Structure 1
Amino acid sequence: MSTAQHKIGSGYDAHSTADDVLAGIDLSGKLAVVTGGYSGLGLETTRALTKAGARVVVPARRPDTAREALAVIDGAEVDTLDLGDLDSVRAFAERFLASGRTIDLMIDNAGIMACPETRVGPGWEAQFATNHLGHFALVNRLWPAIAPGGARVVSVSSRAHHFSGMRWDDVHWRQGYDKWEAYGQAKTANVLFAVHLDRLGADQGVRAFSLHPGGIHTPLQRHIPKEEMIERGWIDEDGTLLNPGSFKTPEQGAATQVWAATSPQLDGMGGVYLEDCDIAEPAVDGDVSGGVKAWATDPEQAARLWELSAELTGVNAF
């Protein structure tokens, strides 16, 4: 089967920063929505986009914390949103649509990772519900603002999608929870979401991308015990990174999602998974160092996930 998953030689790499990929790009008059855009990669994404002239709306589960973090960034505004609560998603979308504004860049950045078994809503597994279903509902509810401007929608996934494909017989992990495999399924869902959204939205000029930002030490690791990070060789007993060169800086980590959202090199393209500011190659069996797994880009699985997500959330713009 042919695939669009091949590098295009963007000229950027793992060391490129968000400012690097935005050099020469004027986002004046553009409006971006960046979920979780007040911490970690999201904060750096917001900073870079506003520096290039964009207005950035930051939906936040902790709005007071977000306002404090963004106080020094001109061009950013905060609203309340809990992706694990579909009523909160609906309320945010209604407030935004009432403003009459259109969205040029939609970056689904917020997420949780490797948390203890947690249930939200009607008993949904929290990582799948927050990382995927919440963003699914959000984008569909915001569609009247996304479609008119031919926005780009960016779904922030992870190399962790290698850990698990979709567990169609038990997507909510009611049988034998594994925090890392559950995270992997949620990240696979992020890729599949972009695959099918691109298929549905391309005729209206909306293109969707997913990506692996790279390994970055951010608050996303808050659910991982210190002992586990030591065991994995990330830090020592004092909490010092053992191999800092193996981690990207936040400025480098934000680069791929900013590139996905703004680069003219991706004009006319969509539905592909990116890493290190380029299109990723298909993953090689047994190699977890990079690339995208076939189960994450399968259009049939993408359509199946869309149907399931619409059924679960009760939302479908199409």
Structure 2
Amino acid sequence: MTTPQHKIGSGFDARSTAADVLDGIDLTGKLAVVTGGYSGIGLETTRVLAEAGAHVVVPARRPATAVEALEGIEGVETDELDLGDLDSVRGFAERFLSSGRGIDILINSAGIMACPETRVGPGWEAQFATNHLGHYALVNRLWPVFAEGARIVSVSSRGHHFSGIRWDDVQFERGYDKWAAYGQAKTANVLFALHLDGLAKEHGVRAFSLHPGRIQTNLGRHLELQELIDMGMFDQDGNVIGEVKTIEQGAATQVWAATSPQLDGKGGVYCEDCDIAEPAPADGERVGVRDYAADPEQAARLWALSAELTGVDAFAPR
């Protein structure tokens, strides 16, 4: 079976920064929405998009914290959004729709990782609900205002290698494993972009997913040092083992996916290190995209489940 998951020779790599991939790209007059755009790689994404001329809307669960973090960056506004609360998602979308503006770029950068078992909404597992269902509902509610040529970018992770979609127990009602839950949520991000692209491309809108790289941010706030040592990520003195990207490098792939003319006419693919990723190797090495995350049938099944759970589907027959 042929696959679009092959490198295109972008000229960028793991060391490229968000500023590097935006060099020479003018975003004047464009509007971008960046969830999680006030911390970690999201903050750097907001900064470089604004510097390139875009007006950036940053919806945040903690609006006051966002305002403080974004101080000094011109062309940015904040609003309230809790992705784990579908009423909050609807409220943000309605406020944005009422503004009469269109969206050229949406980067779904917010997320949680390996948290203790937490339930939100009607008892949904929090990582699946926040990382996937909240963003699914957000995109569908904002769909009427995506401009032709817009891009929708879902920030996944190499963590998608940890688990496919657990179709028999999506909400982890029969025992919770925080890493399997994270893996499922990140697989959902990839499958979401794949199916969304198939639906949206006839309207001139394309979707992408990506692994940003290994970066030290507060995403790992739920992890104890000993756990990181046991996983081989830190040594006994608390020093990082292996290659780690800077925040500037970590933001690069999502900015590249959102803006690069090299991706014109493409979509639905998973990217890493500022290029389209290859299929994951058979030896189990955690690089590239796993086959279950690039499966159109599973992508369609996840879309249908998400529509059922959230009650939202902008593409449903009318």
Same fold (TM over 0.5): yes
Contact 2:30 2:53 in 1 (8 A): yes
Partner of 2:312: 315
Partner of 1:228: 227
Report whether the alignment pairs 1:304 with 2:305: no
Report the TM-score when normalising by structure 1.
0.97
Amino acid at match of 2:287: G
Amino acid at match of 2:144: P
Matched positions, count: 315
Report whether the alignment pairs 1:266 with 2:263: yes
Distance between the aligned counterparts of 2:198 and 2:187, measured in 1?
17
Query: Quick check: 279-288 or 229-238, which moved more?
Result: 229-238
SS in 1 for 2:19: helix
SS in 2 for 1:10: coil
| CA deviation after TM superposition for structure 1 residue 95, in Å | 0.3
Query: Quick check: 265-274 or 220-229, which moved more?
Result: 220-229
| CA deviation after TM superposition for structure 1 residue 227, in Å | 2.0
Q: Deviations over 1:205-262 (max 9, x none)?
A: 00000000000010100111222123234335664x333x611001000000000000
Report the TM-score when normalising by structure 2.
0.97
Distance between the aligned counterparts of 2:280 and 2:309, measured in 1?
30
**Percent identity at matched positions?**
74
Partner of 1:66: 66
Partner of 1:166: 165
Partner of 1:17: 17
Contact 2:161 2:286 in 1 (8 A): no
Contact 2:41 2:248 in 1 (8 A): yes
Distance between the aligned counterparts of 1:234 and 1:46, measured in 2?
28
Partner of 1:205: 204
Contact 1:282 1:291 in 2 (8 A): yes
Distance between the aligned counterparts of 1:242 and 1:113, measured in 2?
18
Amino acid at match of 1:242: V
Amino acid at match of 2:156: S
Amino acid at match of 1:122: P
Distance between the aligned counterparts of 2:31 and 2:91, measured in 1?
20
Partner of 1:256: 253
Distance between the aligned counterparts of 2:122 and 2:25, measured in 1?
44
Distance between the aligned counterparts of 1:196 and 1:169, measured in 2?
21
Contact 1:162 1:288 in 2 (8 A): no
Contact 1:60 1:78 in 2 (8 A): yes
Distance between the aligned counterparts of 2:43 and 2:285, measured in 1?
28
| CA deviation after TM superposition for structure 1 residue 145, in Å | 1.1
Q: Deviations over 1:6-53 (max 9, x none)?
A: 000000000000000000000000000000000001001001101111
Contact 1:102 1:149 in 2 (8 A): no
Partner of 2:287: 290
2:275 to 274, 278, 281: 278
Distance between the aligned counterparts of 1:165 and 1:254, measured in 2?
25
Distance between the aligned counterparts of 2:173 and 2:240, measured in 1?
36
SS in 1 for 2:201: helix
Partner of 1:196: 195
SS in 2 for 1:162: helix
| CA deviation after TM superposition for structure 1 residue 289, in Å | 3.2
Report whether the alignment pairs 1:5 with 2:2: no
